[in-house]
Chain A
Amino acid sequence: MNAVVIAYGFIWAAVFGYLVFMGRKIGKVNAEMDDLHRRMKDLKP
């Protein structure tokens, strides 16, 4: 029983960890996009 729980738990945790990793990447892209918009606004004459 323990082996099944650990195996399934590890797989779920690994997939969840990867989702968190991608979520952080999306957050970084969004933050950089906001920064880009702000800089482009500042550049306008």
Chain B
Amino acid sequence: MIELSSPAMPPRSSPVPKVVFPLAILATSLYAVALSAVTAAPREVTMGLVQKIFYFHVPCAWLLMLSTLVCAGGSVAYLFRDSEKGDRVALAAAELGVLFGACVLVSGPLWAKAAWGVYWQWEARLTSSLLLWLMLVAYVLARRYGGPSARRLAAALALFAAVDIPLVYFSVRFFRTIHPSNKVVQTLGPGMRGAFWWSMAAFSVLFVLLLITRVAIEKAQARLDELQLDLDLAEEKKP
């Protein structure tokens, strides 16, 4: 029950934590450097300009897998320790997985059309990536429309999705596939390598920034819901 003089009254401040602002400046600066490095990077001999999709496609793929791992970690904390924080982190990471997964699944086929002549091939890397993305979509939909009882189901789904990560990563090694291997980064020329790592850094900072902000919003919303419930009770008891 809320006592009006109690410190339970939330301060009139933004739910966004202060650390977000320096992170936003860092992410913007890194993107500026990455974009100039991508522009300056030499054109690949056989594919030409379209190879530059690589500099954003691979970081998005890395974040798809990282999001799934974070989502699974948060889900483990929620399932086995009833951690509300873990649940919030899992939800935020799943949303980011859907976001970056969509970026991978759009940029990849655009590159594939130029390189292979087709937008899509039902081969191991592409199919397992699509499956991973669909599982994250299922997680977000369950959380959005499933009500409170769907939280545990969604957490179990996140663990299932995490099993797909090694399949996505090692698919190019274990199966016959036309997708470039994981070692392609090591074969990049000096100008290309810098552009790639700047992009990786920019996307990774963006991920941390979005994750922290989304978790903070969810935390503020949960606190507000609790306070509103207490306030409803207090208003009912008011003479």
Residues on A lying within 8 angstroms of B by beta carbon are 1, 3-4, 6-8, 10-11, 14-15, 18, 22, 25-26, 28-30, 32-34, 36-37, 39-40, 43-44
Instruction: State how many residues of chain B have any CB contact under 8 Å with chain A.
Output: 40
Residue of A nearest to B38 (CB): A8
Cα distance A1–B221 in the bound complex, in angstroms = 44
Contact A7 B231 (CB under 8 A): no
* Interface secondary structure of A, over-half rule: helix
Given that A10-B103, A29-B221 are contacting pairs, would A4 and B50 also be in contact in the complex, using a CB cutoff of 8 Å?
yes
Residues on B lying within 8 angstroms of A by beta carbon are 2, 4, 9-10, 12, 14-16, 49-50, 52-53, 56-57, 60, 95-96, 99, 102-103, 106-107, 110-111, 113-114, 206, 210, 213-214, 217, 220-221, 224, 227-228, 231, 234-235, 238
Contact A22 B12 (CB under 8 A): no
Residue of B nearest to A37 (CB): B12
Contact B224 A1 (CB under 8 A): no
Contact B14 A3 (CB under 8 A): no
Contact A14 B99 (CB under 8 A): yes
Residues of A within 8 A of B113 (CB): 3
Residues of A within 8 A of B12 (CB): 33-34, 37
Contact B217 A33 (CB under 8 A): no
Contact A25 B110 (CB under 8 A): no
Contact B103 A3 (CB under 8 A): no
Given that A33-B10, A36-B224, A40-B2 are contacting pairs, would A7 and B110 also be in contact in the complex, using a CB cutoff of 8 Å?
yes
Contact B106 A10 (CB under 8 A): yes
